[in-house]
Amino acid sequence: MYCICCNKDTVIPHQIADRTEEDLLWKNEKLDDKTSTIDNEAIDDGIIQIISAGYGSKHDGSHIILAICDQCISEKLDDGTILFFHDYIFPNEEYIKDSIDKSKQIYRRRKNLDNLVDGDS
C-alpha cells in the first residue's frame, strides 16, 4: 500500500497463504466474538490501520485505510506531525513516559514556532 507521506508503495501486508494484498486490505471476517481486519495483520515496513472519522469531519462515520512507512513515521515523530501515544509490546512505564514527554515537547515547540511565524498569539 502507498504511504500517505512519501507516496511510495512500500507498506505491505505480510503475505499469508493464498491471500493477495487487496484481500488483506479489505478483509472483514467475523471470528467468534472478534472481527479480523487489516488492523490484525502483520505489516512489513510500516503501519496499515483503519481509522474512524468522528463527528465534525466531512467524512463522519467513514472508516478509512491508511498506510505510513517506517521511514516517514520516524521523520514525522521527530518533527511533531505525528505523536507518540503508547507502546503495547514493550510496556516499560519509564520508556513510555519519556517517549510521551518527548512527543509533547516536540509538539509544543512546533505549535509555538508556528504561532510565532504566523503572527498568532
Q: Are residues 4 and 33 in the same domain?
A: yes
- Residue 67 CB neighbours (<10 A): 24
The predicted pLDDT at position 18 comes to 84
Q: Are residues 106 and 89 in the same domain?
A: yes
Share of the chain above pLDDT 70, in %: 98
- Dihedrals phi, psi of 13, to nearest 5 degrees: -65, 135
The predicted pLDDT at position 114 comes to 78
Amino acid of residue 48: I
In the chain, what is the greatest distance between 2 CA atoms, to the nearest angstrom?
Answer: 56
Q: Are residues 28 and 4 in the same domain?
A: yes
Which residues does residue 35 pair with via DSSP β-bridges, in sequence order? Answer: 30
What would the pLDDT profile of 24-59 be if each residue is shown by its tens digit? 999 999 988 999 999 999 999 999 999 999 899 999
The predicted pLDDT at position 120 comes to 55
Q: What does pTM read for this prediction?
A: 0.84
Q: Are residues 73 and 87 in the same domain?
A: no
Amino acid of residue 69: C
Name the residue range of residue 1's domain.
Answer: 1-77
